[in-house]
Amino acid sequence: MPIPPAERLFPLAYDPGVSPKGGGLPGLDVLRTVVNSINLFGIVAVVGALAVSLAVWAWGHHTGGHQAEANGKKGATVAAGAALGLGAANGIVEFFSGLGTQIH
């Protein structure tokens, strides 16, 4: 008698019992500080990139340099997207982590 597909897949549904818990390893506070510092450096770099991109955009517009103007627009858009991503990083990870815990 053949084995039903659901029973064949049941052994693949093993729960290893792993869940994230704070305080499991030493150095977690140091790692958080390092990641926060990296995020801060990223935000500062984005501010600089946005300023340069806006200056290139304005320079290209006023001198008739269409390619410089287009590159300035692209740079400003990328910098704005990077700022959005850096600012929302915690929320994005928390959102998808919460979704992941609902999968059974």
Model confidence pLDDT, tens digit, residues 58-70: 999 999 999 999 9
* pTM tops 0.75, yes or no: no
pLDDT > 70 in the chain, percent: 85
pLDDT at 5: 63
Name the more confident of 101 and 82. Answer: 82
Residues 12-23: pLDDT tens digits? 666 777 777 777
Cα–Cα–Cα angle for 40, 41, 47, nearest 5°?
90
